[in-house]
Amino acid sequence: MTIWDAVLQWFGSSSAAQVLAIALGAWLLGQVLSWLLPRLLVGRARRNLSAARRETLFRLIAGATHAIVYIIAILMMLSLFFPGGNVLTALGLISAGVAFAARPFFSDIISGIALLFDDHYSVGEKVQLLDVSGYIEDVQLRNTYIRGDGGELLIVPNGEVRIIRNFSRSAFSLASVQVMVPREQVAATLSILRKVAAQLYAESDDIVEEPFVLSESGLLSTETLLTVKVKAEYGHGAKVRTNLITRIHKALGEQNIIAVPQPTPDRATVPINTAEVRAALRKKGEI
């Protein structure tokens, strides 16, 4: 008997037919239930869930449904060849043998199931998981898929997630502006900055609370770094900061106050002689 004849004979046996029937039935049942169950379970809470959260739950429930159906199908296949008690004994021995090696796998699965009940992040939100940041593209039982800011796809195992930084649920965005001025112009600059910040707060709907001006470092030197602390609505920080910078430049220019240049990271090791900077500005007639 050739190998081909043996294969045909095996497929013609009743056990082989049952295995194929169970496999096909499991696949069909998984497809149907993974489509139906999320709509039945999540549909009732539609009014209380955002679109992103609903999509996340859809994918997690579908993945859990597939896993449960396939596990049941495997048990049914094993029961065709072994008595029920022996199947459970064999599964116990196998699970004990692979438990240590498969611990990360089961940890990821359990964490994925926990996401069904928690609402730490949803599809479409910007988060930072571990040292990975980007937008949530997909959430599955084992992994969370993140699209990085550079377009790359990052895969984070759910079991590794301990600290979640969700940017999309921030209460506000910082739009603060810093200005360094000579110490003899601190009083005038404070008055100007407070006036500009108050005007911007009165005219803008994107600022969540009244801005204030302070010196965060509190250091006394030939120059003082002043900070206009502004909290804008989430996602509007860049627009508010640009508007504030424009107004501050204009107000300081009208009073002939020249902000002292601050060292950039590339120039951090090079000291800036502010006296020479002011002398050069006077020579150009800009002071």
**Contact 193/226 with Cβ under 8 angstroms?**
yes
Task: Compute the 3-state secondary structure of the chain and give helix, strand, coil in percent, each to the nearest 5.
Answer: 55, 15, 30
Which residues fall within 8 angstroms of residue 167, CB to CB, at 6 or more apart?
125, 126, 127, 128, 133
Q: Which domains does the chain have, with CATH numbers?
A: 1-101 (no CATH), 119-169 (2.30.30.60), 173-283 (3.30.70.100)
Sign of the alpha-carbon dihedral angle for 189, 192, 198, 200: negative
- Count each helix (H run) and each strand (E run) in the chain, helices first: 8, 10
What is the distance between the alpha carbons of residues 271 and 5, in angstroms, rounded to a whole number? 86
- Give the pairing type, strands 212-214 and 153-157: unpaired
Q: Which one-letter DSSP state was computed for residue 100? A: T
Question: Could you count the other beta carbons within 10 Å of the beta carbon of residue 186?
Answer: 14
What is the distance between the alpha carbons of residues 61 and 139, in angstroms, rounded to a whole number? 10
**Contact 96/108 with Cβ under 8 angstroms?**
no
pLDDT tens by residue, the chain, 287 residues: 555 455 445 555 567 777 788 888 888 988 888 888 877 777 655 556 667 677 777 877 888 788 888 878 877 777 776 665 555 666 665 555 555 555 676 677 778 778 767 778 888 888 998 888 899 998 887 889 999 888 899 999 888 888 888 888 887 888 999 999 888 889 999 999 999 999 999 998 889 889 989 888 887 888 889 999 999 988 888 899 999 999 999 999 898 888 877 665 554 444 555 556 556 555 555 44
Q: Which one-letter DSSP state was computed for residue 207? A: B
What is the distance between the alpha carbons of residues 54 and 271, in angstroms, rounded to a whole number? 55
Structural Rg of the chain based on CA atoms: 32
pTM of the model: 0.51
